[in-house]
Structure 1
Amino acid sequence: MNVKPQLSFWQIWNMCFGFLGIQFGFALQNTNVSRVFQTLGASIDDIPLLWIAAPVTGLLVQPIIGYWSDRTWSTLGRRRPFILYGAIAASLALIVMPNSPTLWIAAGMLWVLDASINITMEPFRALTGDMLPESQRATGFTLQSFFIGVGAVIASALPWIFSNWLGIANTAPEGVIPDSVIYAFYCGAVIYLLSVLWTVLKTREYTPQQMAAFDGLREESRQKHNDPGIQHRFSRNGIYYLAAAMLFTLVIYWRNWDAQLYILCGLLATFALLQMIAGQLQNKQRLNNAWFQITNDLYQMPNTMKQLAVVQFFSWFALFSMWIYTTPAVTSHHYQTTDTTSLAYNQGADLVAILFAAYNGFAALAALIIPFLVKKTGAQIAHALCLVCGGLGLISFWLITDPSWLIFSMVGVGIAWASILSLPYAMLSCALPAHKMGIYIGIFNFFIVIPQILAASLLGLLLREVLQGSTLMVLVAGGGSFILAALFSLRVRWQSV
């Protein structure tokens, strides 16, 4: 087996540069889409349902794109066709989104935008695993975190920059998107496409023959993922999951719990049907299709991936808790108000916007340091230390009374964010078979999306039934979730394939 050559810093830089554009798309979406929806007439109660498009789209798109990219080779290479075409679609969606004439068109464009971003991003992560030797993967993924941090800070500030620096209108008549937001989306579309083009043009992928020589693919490794002995498990588990979904639905109805919990029932029922269909496909020996392969590979994940899945679950549950509840926590605890029309509330909300920009900035800086920490301690310990920093950062919201000091809380959150975006992928990619790199990184996205959907569905119930309505304690619980993730990170073990 040949060893992949070390790439220079600038080769890795060029390969990761496209993440700057991807984050422009994500940040503009995260910062402005609720504003677009409300401007076009959405009620505040409708916004969470409209937003569910983002995690659900990633849940569906990433494993399918991973499956296809594993089996693709063209003049552009293996991953780059998907990266390029996804960027073109996302850039067009960024142009159309702020010009949507109606709410339903804007909601549809959110689906298109998020699907396109996922089409770009999944092969990007697989490309890093393809191109870098194990010793450089932590550097590659943390450099992606650097571009994510920089892109998030700049893109989030674009409407403010256009309004305050260039004098472009930040207000508009009812039902019309302000020009500052529209131009921010236009700028994001251009930066998205140009940064991805830079990576596509500056990076040359290894041929299938070179990849086979580097990774020493063995026939038994391929056969492992087509084990006929698993066929009865598909149908049996499908029945169990479907029964659980039906029982959970009855409990929600009987207890009159939040309607958002029905989303979990739908996901569980969908997964049950996936199992049943996969079982039928295997019985008919129709194995060479995305439906069966994704289901089969989900059951046969490497042990390292299973261990990292638990780490990801608690990490992203904490993040989603922070994203949802920081504004109500800060305004109610530090500014002593829940009146959304008051000056104090809006001052608190403005501070949260600054805090969110700050943690992305701190993440960009932390990304430059994490590779050195990995060399000193190893990836598992380095990731655990970073997650503990994030946990302490969220818990400190409970201890700090002066809101101006909350900026220091975001240092810890930024360190954790930089690590979450890099080290799990660095550890995972070393444990994956090369011919399954794309599909497994796509499946790994399940453990990002599922905790987000769980958080969106369960946190309201937890807040009401357990935490007596204290949004601040949701942040503390998020800090505890970060620390749990750190403990599980210490248990991660991997063996190169």
Structure 2
Amino acid sequence: MKKQPRLSFWQIWNLSFGFLGVQFGFALQNANVSRILSTLGADPHTLPIFWMIAPAIGLIVQPVVGALSDRTWNRLGRRSPYIFGGAIAATIGMFLMPNASAFTDYIPAIWFGAMMLAVMDGSFNVTFQPFRALVADMLPSEQINKGYSVQSLLINTGAVIGSALPFILTWVGIENEAPEGQVPDSVIWSFYLGGSILLLSVFWTVFKTKEYPPKEYAEYKGETEKELLEEEHKGFFAVLKDMPPVMWQLAVVQLFSWFALYLMWVFSTSAIAQHVWGTEISDVSSSDYNEAGNWVGILFASYSLAAAIFSAFMDKFATGLGRKKTYGGALLLGGLGFLSMYLIKDQYLLILSMVGIGIAWAAILAMPYAILSESLPAGQMGTYMGIFNLTVVIPQLLSGVVGSFLIKQFGGQAIFMLVVAGVCMCIASFMVTFVKGGAVKKN
């Protein structure tokens, strides 16, 4: 087995730099899509259904892109063509979604908005999976913790800026209110900027990262090129049959943690508007609702900032304590953060809740992939990462169905959905104890 070279910090940085822009766009989507869809005519009871469009597309996209990227070797590389293509499609969706009202002569604004949500999230899924596999491809095992920690740092740096952007633009004087049925300029320009940054950052990764050719890659992973080729063309059901047990164990943790995150993304704006600003369920055009919407962006930026800071030290925690303890402890702090939101009615104190959620988010973005990567065959890295990412989208679909039922049982009071999220995150923390892997590994 030929020893795979260690990469410098800046090479690792370039490897994941595009994820900064992708997460910039993803954060804008998470913080503002419920607000946009509500403006276009959706009510809190139907929001989970609209949000289910995105993970439903991811259910198909993730494993397909994973398998295709395993078998793609061309001038751009193995993973880069999909990262590049997904970024272009996501940018188009971001430019068009907040302008849904301009297309009402051809299609109802709410349906156009839902279509663009599908385009955006589907495209984000196309880029997410190859980025995960790219780190595992390019780094030796002793740098895996660092690679995913740097990726988490970049993801959350992008999310901080993306989440806060409508608030910042409002502060500098861009209009934060609009006629009924139209999206405020602060949100529209945020999506324009977000799409542009997404595309530029992905260009940086694609053109600054040189992926290994098949023969060299196989040697670094302890295989021959022929063995690598056989792995790449293994049938889908054969791959499922040989799936490592740790993947199933992590899937249970993912089920509860992503169930919770989906509830946060869908219901935070309604929950904060009702619980802190005292708005009514249907009062989505008021200045209070729009102010609450901007503040949700700040809260999302806060949890992303906490995640970015924790990511800078996560490699040390994972090396010293082990990946499992780091992962489980972070999820527990996230659960407590969600539960504390029920007790807080001061908008500024909610930032403290977001610190715990941010630490959990950082671990969710890094630890399961670090634990999993060393159990996967080199020729099927993308396929397995794609399948594993189904553990991200399936919980969201389930959360959408259950969330639509629960919000009605809670009389439209969305704060209780965040309490449910807290309980689920605590369960996820407990389930980490059953994962076989993630031992301490010295760099």
Aligned residues: 430
Listed one character per residue, the Cα deviations across residues 146-202 of structure 1 (whole Å, up to 9, x for unaligned) are 12212122122333333431x334444455444433332222222111101111111
Q: 1:188 aligns with which of 184, 194, 201?
A: 194
Question: Which stretch of the first structure deviates more once superposed, 133-142 or 56-65?
Answer: 133-142
1:488 is matched with 431
Query: CA–CA distance in 1 between the matches of 2:273 and 2:119?
Result: 34
Please tell me whether the aligned partners of residues 431 and 494 of structure 1 are also in contact (alpha carbons under 8 angstroms). no
1:146 aligns with 2:89: no
**3-state secondary structure, aligned to 1:217:** coil
Q: TM-score, normalised by structure 2?
A: 0.86
Amino acid at match of 2:402: L
Mark the runs of 5 or more structure 2 residues left unpaired by the alignment. none
Query: CA–CA distance in 1 between the matches of 2:47 and 2:207?
Result: 39
Please tell me whether the aligned partners of residues 303 and 494 of structure 1 are also in contact (alpha carbons under 8 angstroms). no
Please tell me whether the aligned partners of residues 141 and 422 of structure 1 are also in contact (alpha carbons under 8 angstroms). yes
Query: CA–CA distance in 2 between the matches of 1:495 and 1:415?
Result: 18
Query: CA–CA distance in 2 between the matches of 1:347 and 1:107?
Result: 23
**3-state secondary structure, aligned to 2:349:** helix
1:134 is matched with 141
Question: Which stretch of the first structure deviates more once superposed, 42-51 or 183-192?
Answer: 42-51
Q: 1:321 aligns with which of 236, 254, 263?
A: 263
2:360 is matched with 416
Q: Aligned pair in 2 of structure 1 residues 39, 478: CA closer, same or farther (>3 Å)?
A: closer
Amino acid at match of 1:303: P
Q: Aligned pair in 2 of structure 1 residues 125, 156: CA closer, same or farther (>3 Å)?
A: same
Listed one character per residue, the Cα deviations across residues 18-40 of structure 1 (whole Å, up to 9, x for unaligned) are 01110122122223334444454
**3-state secondary structure, aligned to 2:72:** coil
**Deviation (angstroms), 1:409:** 1.6
1:107 is matched with 114
Query: CA–CA distance in 2 between the matches of 1:353 and 1:94?
Result: 17
**Deviation (angstroms), 1:119:** 1.5
**Deviation (angstroms), 1:143:** 1.5
Query: CA–CA distance in 1 between the matches of 2:302 and 2:71?
Result: 40
**Deviation (angstroms), 1:403:** 5.0
Amino acid at match of 1:410: M
Question: Which stretch of the first structure deviates more once superposed, 98-107 or 81-90?
Answer: 98-107
Q: 1:476 aligns with which of 400, 419, 423?
A: 419
Q: Aligned pair in 2 of structure 1 residues 327, 193: CA closer, same or farther (>3 Å)?
A: closer
Q: Aligned pair in 2 of structure 1 residues 370, 212: CA closer, same or farther (>3 Å)?
A: same
1:122 is matched with 129
Within a 5 Å distance, the mapping from 1:434-449 to structure 2 comes to 434-449=378-393
Q: 1:305 aligns with which of 228, 243, 247?
A: 247
2:52 is matched with 52
Please tell me whether the aligned partners of residues 63 and 294 of structure 1 are also in contact (alpha carbons under 8 angstroms). no
Please tell me whether the aligned partners of residues 432 and 440 of structure 1 are also in contact (alpha carbons under 8 angstroms). yes
Amino acid at match of 1:147: L
Please tell me whether the aligned partners of residues 340 and 346 of structure 1 are also in contact (alpha carbons under 8 angstroms). no
* Larger RCO (CA under 8 A, 6+ residues apart): 2
Please tell me whether the aligned partners of residues 98 and 185 of structure 1 are also in contact (alpha carbons under 8 angstroms). yes
**Deviation (angstroms), 1:123:** 0.7
1:267 is matched with none
Please tell me whether the aligned partners of residues 52 and 396 of structure 2 are also in contact (alpha carbons under 8 angstroms). no
Please tell me whether the aligned partners of residues 268 and 418 of structure 2 are also in contact (alpha carbons under 8 angstroms). yes
1:384 aligns with 2:344: no
Query: CA–CA distance in 2 between the matches of 1:335 and 1:36?
Result: 19
1:429 is matched with 373
Please tell me whether the aligned partners of residues 259 and 421 of structure 2 are also in contact (alpha carbons under 8 angstroms). yes
Q: Aligned pair in 2 of structure 1 residues 114, 324: CA closer, same or farther (>3 Å)?
A: closer
Query: CA–CA distance in 1 between the matches of 2:193 and 2:276?
Result: 35
Please tell me whether the aligned partners of residues 394 and 409 of structure 1 are also in contact (alpha carbons under 8 angstroms). yes
**Deviation (angstroms), 1:210:** 1.2
Query: CA–CA distance in 1 between the matches of 2:80 and 2:265?
Result: 32
Question: Which stretch of the first structure deviates more once superposed, 346-355 or 206-215?
Answer: 346-355
Please tell me whether the aligned partners of residues 316 and 452 of structure 1 are also in contact (alpha carbons under 8 angstroms). yes
1:271 is matched with none
**Deviation (angstroms), 1:337:** 6.2
Give identity over the alignment, percent. Answer: 48
Amino acid at match of 1:7: L
Q: Aligned pair in 2 of structure 1 residues 308, 94: CA closer, same or farther (>3 Å)?
A: same
**3-state secondary structure, aligned to 1:77:** coil
Query: CA–CA distance in 1 between the matches of 2:38 and 2:97?
Result: 14
**Deviation (angstroms), 1:130:** 0.2
Q: 1:369 aligns with which of 308, 313, 338?
A: 313
Q: 1:208 aligns with which of 198, 211, 214?
A: 214
Query: CA–CA distance in 1 between the matches of 2:175 and 2:291?
Result: 21
Q: TM-score, normalised by structure 1?
A: 0.78
Please tell me whether the aligned partners of residues 324 and 437 of structure 2 are also in contact (alpha carbons under 8 angstroms). no
Query: CA–CA distance in 2 between the matches of 1:328 and 1:81?
Result: 38
Listed one character per residue, the Cα deviations across residues 238-260 of structure 1 (whole Å, up to 9, x for unaligned) are xxxxxxxxxxxxxxxxxxxxxxx
**Deviation (angstroms), 1:41:** 4.7
Amino acid at match of 2:128: M
Q: Aligned pair in 2 of structure 1 residues 105, 449: CA closer, same or farther (>3 Å)?
A: same
**Deviation (angstroms), 1:126:** 0.6
Query: CA–CA distance in 1 between the matches of 2:297 and 2:438?
Result: 42
Q: Aligned pair in 2 of structure 1 residues 184, 352: CA closer, same or farther (>3 Å)?
A: closer
Q: Aligned pair in 2 of structure 1 residues 339, 434: CA closer, same or farther (>3 Å)?
A: closer
Question: Which stretch of the first structure deviates more once superposed, 456-465 or 309-318?
Answer: 456-465
Query: CA–CA distance in 2 between the matches of 1:92 and 1:337?
Result: 34
**Deviation (angstroms), 1:225:** 7.8
Amino acid at match of 1:314: F
**What's the C-alpha RMSD, in Å, of the aligned pairs?**
3.1
1:97 aligns with 2:97: yes
Query: CA–CA distance in 2 between the matches of 1:223 and 1:131?
Result: 18
Query: CA–CA distance in 1 between the matches of 2:159 and 2:42?
Result: 25
Within a 5 Å distance, the mapping from 1:290-301 to structure 2 comes to 293-301=235-243
Please tell me whether the aligned partners of residues 328 and 338 of structure 1 are also in contact (alpha carbons under 8 angstroms). no
**3-state secondary structure, aligned to 1:17:** helix
